[in-house]
A and B are shown apart, each in its own frame.
Chain A
Amino acid sequence: MSLITPDFGLLFWMVVIFGIVFFLLAKFGFPVITKAVQKRSDHIADSLKAADEAQARLAGMAEEHARMIEETRLEQSRILKEASQARESIIAQAREEAREEAAKLLEHAKVEIAAERESAIRDIRRQVAMISVEVAEKIVRKDLDEAGGQSALLDRLVDEASQAQIPN
């Protein structure tokens, strides 16, 4: 049966032909193609990874952004709080100072008023004294004008003086 007995001529040619085909394809054919395909699939893989990273970075940036906004808001509220505190303290201080100033003025005024009153009293006293003296003079003069009145007056004056001197 020639079907299952390999023919030498065909064996020979098959080795030659397959050898040449193998050499050509293994040297110039498949490595070029598989390398190119490999290069592309590597590139795709790299690109995917890069896209992933970019997305992650973008997400990080959004987070950063949100964080910054949050920080700014906190800062803002802090500044507002500080400002209001400062205002409060300034107002309080001003009030305190005003109060002190007022107290000082009041004190001063009191002292002055007291001094005024003192001098006024002294004035009044002096005037009263002078009036009294004048009155006394007038009375004395009248008494002296009257006859007989001088000695009586003298007596009375001496009495009064002596009585007035006793408590001293």
Chain B
Amino acid sequence: MRRWLLILTLLLPTTLLAEDFDVSEFLFGHVSDAYEWHITAIKGKEISIPLPCIVIENGIHVFTLHHAAENGYTLNEDGKLVNAQTGKRPLDISITKNVLGLMIDSVLLVLLILLCARWYRRHDVLKEKPTGIAALMEPLIVMIEQDVIKDAVGPEYKKYSPYLLTAFFFILINNLMGIFPVFPGGANITGNIAVTGVLALFTFLMVNLFGNKHYWKDILWPDVPLFLKAIPIMPLIEILGMFTKPFSLMIRLFANMLAGHIMLLSVIALIFLSAAMGPVLNGSLTVIAALFGVFLDCLELLVAFLQAYVFTMLSAVFIGLAHQHPETETN
């Protein structure tokens, strides 16, 4: 009888013990950009890395978020710095969490690739097999260049492979660092539309700046019946297509990475949400959430690679389309 009572009390909600848990703030706080890098909270004391806010409005103002009010700035409902008096967004080039993450990941990437390149400079490839960092990077580089870039771009691939390889490794390292939960990982960089937008912009430039005569003819005067060109329906569609291709790249990477982060965080949020439902439910849900989290982490590892691969491949395909020759296209 006493045992039943114990079980019943275990099943009782423990709302009094648990704090109110704001799921929305938990999720969006983790996936969106911030003016400081929040690491954890110990006994209610927030531990975070302060980052410089740089605002250009009648001169350059540099301060940390704690001193925003002293400089006449405050945060709006989106968590962005605004002028405290006018409520307008100033020109804000702060080193935010994502910017710092980008910098750290970029330094890592540059080190990784340049050290690998240094190995090739210092060793004779005809006499030695790659060791260390070269052995790590070479298969990946060769796979991307030979299987993706060469096949998709065509004979002129050598000119574009540095850009496409850079894009691939840049996305890959940012994706992977995004999965890693503590500093310097955990920033949702490739799940941010500004980042994917710039990547897509670079691809757009690569495609359109170096497109050949045939590519532009296909856009402005395609091989379709005249009435489709006289009223410029086809050219309009083609010009729209010029922009939708990189746009799709931007949205695909952004949405996939953001969704992955939100999925993982939702599973973790389950633990905190169920805290109010009693120790038994909370305990069992914690086990389930942890197991599900492991699964999702593995899935995210796959997605991290896959999205970098897909972005690179589609960019290569778009570049390849801008370099077709009429005689190769006839069949």
CB <8 Å contact, A36 and B96? no
Asked if B199 is at the interface (CB within 8 A of a chain A CB), the reply is: yes
CB <8 Å contact, A6 and B194? yes
Residues of the A chain whose Cβ atoms lie less than 8 Å from the Cβ of B120: 32-33, 36
CB <8 Å contact, B117 and A3? no
CB <8 Å contact, B194 and A10? yes
CA distance A28 to B114 in the complex (A): 7
Please tell me which stretch of B25-33, B59-67, B271-279, B287-295 contacts chain A, meaning at least 4 of its Cβ atoms lie within 8 angstroms of it.
B25-33
CA distance A22 to B167 in the complex (A): 8
Asked if A31 is at the interface (CB within 8 A of a chain B CB), the reply is: yes
Set A5, A31, A36: member contacting B162, Cβ < 8 A: A31
CB <8 Å contact, B193 and A30? no
Residues of the B chain whose Cβ atoms lie less than 8 Å from the Cβ of A12: 93
Residues of the A chain whose Cβ atoms lie less than 8 Å from the Cβ of B165: 25, 30, 34
Q: Which residue of B lies closest to A31 (CB)?
A: B162
Asked if A29 is at the interface (CB within 8 A of a chain B CB), the reply is: yes
CB <8 Å contact, B161 and A34? yes
Set A22, A28, A32: member contacting B202, Cβ < 8 A: A22
Set B96, B141, B166, B197: member contacting A37, Cβ < 8 A: B141
CB <8 Å contact, A13 and B93? yes
Near B by CB (< 8 A), chain A positions 1-58 give: 1-15, 17-18, 20-22, 24-26, 28-34, 36-37, 39-40, 43
Q: Which of B54, B99, B170 neighbours the largest number of chain A CB atoms within 10 Å of its CB?
A: B99
Secondary structure dominating the interface of B: helix
CB <8 Å contact, B194 and A14? yes
- Given the known interface contacts A11-B197, A32-B120, the answer about A18 and B93 at a Cβ–Cβ threshold of 8 Å is no
B51 to chain A, nearest CB (A): 11
CB <8 Å contact, B198 and A14? yes
Q: Which of B106, B158, B194 neighbours the largest number of chain A CB atoms within 10 Å of its CB?
A: B194
Residues of the A chain whose Cβ atoms lie less than 8 Å from the Cβ of B93: 8-9, 12-13
CA distance A31 to B164 in the complex (A): 12
CB <8 Å contact, B94 and A9? yes
CB <8 Å contact, B95 and A13? yes
Residues of the B chain whose Cβ atoms lie less than 8 Å from the Cβ of A28: 114, 117
Asked if B151 is at the interface (CB within 8 A of a chain A CB), the reply is: no
CB <8 Å contact, A2 and B32? yes
Q: Which residue of A lies closest to B254 (CB)?
A: A4
Q: Which residue of A lies closest to B113 (CB)?
A: A29
- Given the known interface contacts A9-B96, A11-B194, A33-B141, the answer about A3 and B32 at a Cβ–Cβ threshold of 8 Å is yes
Residues of the A chain whose Cβ atoms lie less than 8 Å from the Cβ of B33: 2, 7, 10
Residues of the A chain whose Cβ atoms lie less than 8 Å from the Cβ of B137: 33
CB <8 Å contact, B194 and A21? no
CB <8 Å contact, A20 and B141? no
CB <8 Å contact, B78 and A2? yes
Asked if B302 is at the interface (CB within 8 A of a chain A CB), the reply is: no
Taken residue by residue from 88 to 106, chain B's Cβ proximity to chain A (1 for < 8 Å, 0 otherwise) reads as 0001111110110011001
Asked if B110 is at the interface (CB within 8 A of a chain A CB), the reply is: yes
Asked if B240 is at the interface (CB within 8 A of a chain A CB), the reply is: no
CA distance A37 to B197 in the complex (A): 32
- Given the known interface contacts A9-B92, A12-B93, A32-B120, the answer about A26 and B166 at a Cβ–Cβ threshold of 8 Å is yes
CA distance A26 to B162 in the complex (A): 5
B4 to chain A, nearest CB (A): 48
Asked if B1 is at the interface (CB within 8 A of a chain A CB), the reply is: no
Set B31, B95, B142, B158: member contacting A3, Cβ < 8 A: B31
Interface residues of A (CB under 8 A from B): 1-15, 17-18, 20-22, 24-26, 28-34, 36-37, 39-40, 43
Complex A-B: 9 CB contacts under 8 Å: A6-B194, A8-B92, A10-B96, A10-B195, A22-B163, A25-B113, A30-B162, A33-B141, A40-B126
Besides the known contacts A14-B194, A32-B120, 11 further A-B residue pairs in the complex with CB atoms under 8 A apart = A2-B33, A7-B194, A9-B93, A11-B194, A13-B93, A14-B195, A25-B113, A33-B116, A33-B138, A40-B126, A43-B125
Closest 10 CB pairs of A and B: A26-B162, A6-B194, A36-B120, A29-B113, A10-B194, A32-B117, A2-B78, A14-B198, A40-B125, A13-B99
